[in-house]
Amino acid sequence: MRNQYTSTFEKDHPCRAQIIRCKADRDAAPMNDYRYPEESGSFTGTLTFRCWHRSKPMLLCFFDADDGRKIKLSVWWQSWGVNYSPSKTLINFADEVFDGSRWHCTYRKKSNRYIRWERAEQLD
């Protein structure tokens, strides 16, 4: 995966420099090993990598949970509040978070059957 900075913006925002954005890096990442949760719940784990969605203003976050699950959660750009953050957390996962960090995350299944990432608490 990518290790160099590609623009001045990313030099000034090193968290974004870790995010996968090109097809070659996307193809090299083990994204198919990760799944959205099927029901509401929570987990503690490590943020392994992040990837921009190919066509939506969405950031995909891939976690290795302590219990062995490989979990994918998504956050969106929004015109209000904090961009790329879980719905009840004020942490921007594009600009304030590094890969390799540890988290306790809570999510719930909505009535339309999609998973909403609600909370993220960074662990030391």
CA distance 16 to 37: 25
Q: For position 8, what pLDDT does the model report?
A: 54
- Tell me which residues of the chain have a pLDDT lower than 70: 1-15
- Whether the CB-CB separation of 86 and 122 falls below 8 Å is answered with no
Which pTM does this prediction carry? Answer: 0.85
Instruction: For the chain, state the CA radius of gyration.
Output: 14
- Non-local CB neighbours of 95 within 8 Å, separated by 6+ positions: 13, 15, 16, 84
Mean pLDDT, rounded, of the chain: 87
- Whether the CB-CB separation of 65 and 103 falls below 8 Å is answered with no
8-123, CATH topology level: OB fold (Dihydrolipoamide Acetyltransferase, E2P) (2.40.50)
